[in-house]
Structure 1
């Protein structure tokens, strides 16, 4: 039996170059979601936790590389990043973060069914409607990016966060 090992150093496709209008639309969706989160008062660090957790669930190495670097650049601790996959078993996350992570997991894992009522209710306890909407959009956008990066086999490692001003 012959097996081949996928080349993890070369992307399969240049999705951005081959479909620039679609890539630009994804970028605008991302920016619109960021504006909504900012207008709603959702903390940038909480959004990074959502992005990292969804990327963990989806197994997206490219997005994990990017968003863990972005989280660290925003002051996130190594301890919280390293234990994010087991957030339920740690004392490191606030009630608000826990609600966002549970909601992000439910949005990411829709193959398991709809977002459970108890997850939705817990999120409503700590988020108003614009904030909850922003968290959902953040989860939706990162899931789309995860699927793009995984499909194109985008190579992690080169991304560097923009310098903070």
Structure 2
């Protein structure tokens, strides 16, 4: 069900989830494997628009899709209950803060609320997130245009 709702975040060539989605000049998104295959043909597999060989656009990550994929990965982790540990002390993670992008145990959650509540950090209980839908989770993590760079050397830098 989750995959059906978010098919648009997959590669438009192979229809698979990929951490390296590239944005073409025609605004279609391909993974590196499909891009390599179709660069030889010279056309986008979706609309047959020519893929410019020398254009820097092929180096452009599709940051919107990459960030959506990262958020959906967290949601899947919460739903599956896999590796939910506090990012601070490694105890059971019972809360998720979408601003900090961290799981929190009860003790760290209390400290978080005390020090960051005034800064609009609202950590939510994992069980409440699990009871909702992926769309609800994405809505709750929406910020005003803050996309993170997908380059691992630019970790947690906002675009």
Give the TM-score taking structure 2 as reference length. 0.25
Select the structure that is richer in strand: 2
Please say which structure displays the higher CA radius of gyration: 2
Q: Which protein, 1 or 2, shows the higher relative CO under an 8 Å CA cutoff with sep ≥ 6? A: 1
Give the TM-score taking structure 1 as reference length. 0.24
